[in-house]
Amino acid sequence: MQYLRSEMQSSLTSTSSSVFLRIGALLTVVVATLLTSVTVLAQPLIFTSGPFTVVADEDVGNYRIVVHQSPERAIIGSISYAVQVHQRETGANVPDAIIKVYASPSEHGERQVAPALNSPDDREYYVARLEIEEAGVWAIDVVVDHHELGEETLILATEVFGRARGGDNLVVGTILWVFVSIAFLGVTFYLIRKSRRAKTELERIRNQPQQSDT
């Protein structure tokens, strides 16, 4: 009889440990899946030309000027522009132009300017980076100057957003974080109940000899 009780106690202990392990493994899978979802959904948009998106493609004077912006949805901070300049008539790339990018606020903020430079490894793209510290609509002036083709200016506008807490990615991340929290609470509550039941069952089995003796 005592051997049977010992076996039952060992079985309950083993079952409880097995339940803990299974729940722990399940919780790990759930959390990993949710965190993976957050990571995937929080990735930036895939732009039309790599990390940049085309915001202007126009013929201006003797030039065809293509302007790429990164990020597509401009927010306060760094905004990069990549400029392609081609001869309007021939379509040939112009690798030796002098290009400056200006950003002028419509309301608040100071005018920004940055040179757009190309590199010996990539003569087609002139890249400039601006530091915008105020939200609102900004006029972007791309000034292209070449000793043979002359100087021209392409004007466009971009809206710069503040670092709002209610962004799409943040909302999705917050919802998933709530689900993760609920999963933790639910599993924790379940484990506590299982632990109490196992403890109660063990106490009942231990007290059986005393009850039979009486």
Topology adopted by domain 53-160: Immunoglobulin-like (2.60.40)
Comparing C-alpha atoms, which of 125, 80, 132 is closest to residue 107? 132
Q: Is the pTM of this model over 0.85?
A: no
Beta bridge partners of 112: 103
What residue ranges in 133-177 does DSSP mark as E strands? 136-146, 150-160
Give the mean model confidence (pLDDT) for residues 151-180: 75
Alpha carbons 207 and 22: distance in angstroms, whole number: 29
pLDDT in tens, 105-115: 988 888 999 99
Alpha carbons 137 and 161: distance in angstroms, whole number: 9
Beta bridge partners of 82: 68, 127
pLDDT in tens, 18-58: 544 555 555 554 445 444 444 434 443 333 344 899 999 99
Could you tell me the pLDDT band of residue 101, with boundaries at 50, 70 and 90? Answer: very high
The structural domains of the chain, with segments of one domain joined by +, span 2-42+167-213, 53-160
pLDDT at 64: 97
Q: DSSP letter for 21, please.
A: H
Single-letter residue type at 8:
M
Comparing C-alpha atoms, which of 66, 61, 86 is closest to residue 127? 66
Comparing C-alpha atoms, which of 75, 214, 205 is closest to residue 136? 75
pLDDT at 134 over 90: yes
CA 11 to chain centre: 48
